[in-house]
Amino acid sequence: MRCVIIDDEPLAVDLIKEFVSKVEALELVYTFNNAIDAIAIINQNPVDLIFLDIEMPHFSGIDFLNAIDKKPLVIFTTAYENYAVEGFNLGAVDYLVKPIPFNRFLKAVTRAHQLFSPVVTTPNPASLAAVETAHDFMFVRAEYENVKLNYCDILYIEGLKDYVKIYTTDNKYILTLISLIKLDAQLASKGFSRIHRSYIINIKHVTSIQKNKVIIAEKRIPISESYKSLFFEKIKL
């Protein structure tokens, strides 16, 4: 998607430029520090997506939207939460409040990409999902690269709506866009077990098991009743 950044704060522009550079689906074509300069360019050179600040001197982001002929997808970027309702009433894809974390930016871009390409019903597995390429490792998309993860280095996985956090033996985690359901199907035969609607664990790294929780690297992870019998059957307990 061809995208534009319009923001009167240079630091905000630099941050969004950095984020855009990490997403293969985005091509940055223009940046503007005021909305007035952007009007003629956008009218003559249509783009697919605009990262648009709302509160700017003399001419706001909302004024800008009302002034252009063809309205692309818009993600508002602002320091003020009070514009959220107005932003969504204008048909914005999303509304990001500064300071913007990358995972929140990525979620907004993913939503924009789905609207831009409605014929694509599932994410590209090479760019957005975890891809199994061998029996002992997989690749996951993290920010701007595909990261190789050995199964034996994964401690546990935590589900966060559309994303998951994969915790590893080096005391770090990787945030990636994939469903816990899909990972469960992929990892069930690799020594992993889902023990809660929000957690998949690597059985190899369990140090102790209590009535309703397991301990992995000093983290107490709950076992829900709906997954308990299957988990205990898997570990022969």
Q: What is the pLDDT of residues 82-96, one digit of tens each?
A: 554 455 456 778 888
Fold classification of 131-234 (topology level): OB fold (Dihydrolipoamide Acetyltransferase, E2P) (2.40.50)
- pLDDT at residue number 20: 93
At 126, is the pLDDT very low, low, confident or very high (cuts 50, 70, 90)?
very low
- pLDDT at residue number 79: 80
Q: Which CATH number is correct for 2-116, 1.10.260.40, 3.40.50.2300, 3.90.1150.10, 1.10.40.50?
A: 3.40.50.2300
DSSP the chain: -EEEEE-S-HHHHHHHHHHHHT-TT-EEEEEESSHHHHHHHHHHS--SEEEEES--SSS-HHHHHHH-SS--EEEEEES-GGGHHHHHHTT-SEEEESSPPHHHHHHHHHHHHHHH-TT--S--TTTTS-EE-SSSEEEEEETTEEEEEEGGGEEEEEEETTEEEEEETTS-EEEEE--HHHHHHHHGGGTEEEEETTEEEEGGG--EE-SSEEEETTEEEE--HHHHHHHHHHTT-
CATH 2.40.50.1020 domain range(s) in the chain: 131-234
- pLDDT at residue number 119: 39
Q: State the CB neighbour count (10 A cutoff) for residue 1.
A: 18
Structure tokens at 64: 């800008």
pLDDT tens column, 170-201:
989 999 888 888 888 889 888 999 999 999 99
More confident residue, 64 or 115: 64
